[in-house]
Homo-oligomer: A and B are copies of this chain.
Amino acid sequence: MSIKTVSTAKSHGGVQSVHSHASEACGCDMTFAVFVPPQAEEGPCPVLWYLSGLTCTHANVVEKGEYRRMAAELGLIVVCPDTSPRGAHVPDEKDNWQFGSGAGFYVDASEAPYDTNYRMYSYVVEELPRIVSANFPADMNRQSIFGHSMGGHGALTIALRNPKRFRSCSAFAPIVHPSDADWSARAFERYLGPNQADWRTHDACSLIEDGYRFSEFLVDQGKADSFLEDGLKPWLLEEACRKAGIPLKLRMQPGYDHSYFFISTFMDDHLRWHAQRLGMLEGDVT
């Protein structure tokens, strides 16, 4: 479980670093980013997982997410995994941004040839937490998770399946019902097989229908997001949460698109939402 440091830089009083390691889950080298706040010099800090969207690596949120100032103020470790296995031997389709590299969808693929490498669920839920715990001053008893778009889907599904591990979950413009969206349904079919019953444990709305529960969700969604009507459909999550009695704070944000200009705008709100639920912040947040 040795890791190699790719880069490290002081930022906002803490340290932003990038690391690579040989992944057992994914059968390839994987890269991830970690921000360690200055409070880590005093003792272990809670861990907030950020899962990125289609086409992204760890780098997009590191460069554009604007999370370090507030994470340093609050004392949060922020871990940003990659979005898929990568490498010359990893099956992929170079011209398809909705499948393969950059499009792991946080599932464990069951179908050949993808089942060897496309195991992002196991990677994010099992392998990477062990690596983070072993190599960083992380309080693994206090974890939360959030993400964007495909990563919002990842955060919602992983939280629903692991409600005792995560104190809170939020998302920016998440794919809430990937089984029924064009861009994800075709990937699900190839990763998970044609039987849609097998997709339900990787679909937030289906998980809720099937009885999975989480304490509450915060979701921000830009109203000028070009993917809103066809792919994201947050009203499906709203309906599922309403029926299941899960509190959902869905904030439709006028004028905002799907980009990191949107994400960075509401980043502080999400960090404070998680910090409060991790017991780091008093009072009413968002």
A residues within 8 Å of B by Cβ? Answer: 9-13, 16, 63-64, 66, 68-69, 222, 224, 255-257, 259-262, 264-265, 268
Residues on B with C-beta less than 8 A from A63 are 63-64, 260
Tell me the nearest residue of chain B to A260, going by C-beta: B63
Please tell me how many copies of the chain the complex holds. 2
Per DSSP, chain A at the interface is mixed
Which are the 9 A-B pairs with shortest beta-carbon distances?
A11-B261, A9-B261, A10-B255, A12-B265, A66-B66, A10-B256, A63-B64, A11-B265, A9-B257
* A265 in complex: contacting residue of B13, B255, B264, CB < 8 Å: B13
CB–CB A10/B64 < 8 A: no
A255 to B9, alpha carbons, bound, how many Å?
A: 8
A265 to B72, alpha carbons, bound, how many Å?
A: 10
Residues on B with C-beta less than 8 A from A257 are 9-10
CB–CB A224/B10 < 8 A: yes
A64 to B255, alpha carbons, bound, how many Å?
A: 22
Tell me the nearest residue of chain B to A224, going by C-beta: B10
Residues on B with C-beta less than 8 A from A10 are 222, 224, 255-257, 261-262, 265
Nearest Cβ on chain B to A108's Cβ, whole angstroms: 33
* A264 in complex: contacting residue of B12, B222, B255, B260, CB < 8 Å: B12
A222 to B69, alpha carbons, bound, how many Å?
A: 17
* A68 in complex: contacting residue of B69, B255, B264, CB < 8 Å: B264
